[in-house]
Amino acid sequence: MKTTKYLLLGAALLAAALPTLSAKVVVGQPAPDFTVTDIDGRSHQLSNLKGKTVVLEWVNPECPFVVRHYGTGNMPSLQKAATADGVVWLTINSAAKGEQGDYEPAKIKAWLSKNGAASTAYVRDQDGKVGKLFQAKTTPHMFVINPEGVLIYDGAIDSSPRGASDAENYVKAALTAAKQGKLPAKTTSEPYGCGVKYDS
Q: Where residue 151 sits, what CATH number does that domain have? A: 3.40.30.10
Q: Report the distance separating Cα 34 and Cα 116, nearest Å.
A: 27
Report if residue 21 sits inside a domain.
no
Residue 137 makes CB contacts below 8 A (sequence gap 6+) with: 191, 195, 196
In a domain, 68, yes or no: yes
Tell me if 4 is assigned to some domain: no
Q: Is 200 among the domain residues?
A: no
Calpha distance 63→135 (Å, rounded) = 18
Enter the pTM of the model.
Answer: 0.88
The domain tally of the chain equals: 1
- Is residue 39 in a domain? yes
3-state SS, residue 82: helix
Which residues of the chain are modeled with pLDDT < 50?
1-22
Residue 141 lies in a domain: yes
pLDDT for the residue numbered 24:
73
Q: 8 lies in a domain?
A: no
DSSP 145-168: E-TTSBEEEEE-SBS-TT--TT--
| Residue at 12 is within a domain | no
User: Domain limits at 140?
Assistant: 27-195
Q: What is the pLDDT of residues 122-153, one digit of tens each?
A: 999 999 999 999 999 999 999 999 999 999 99
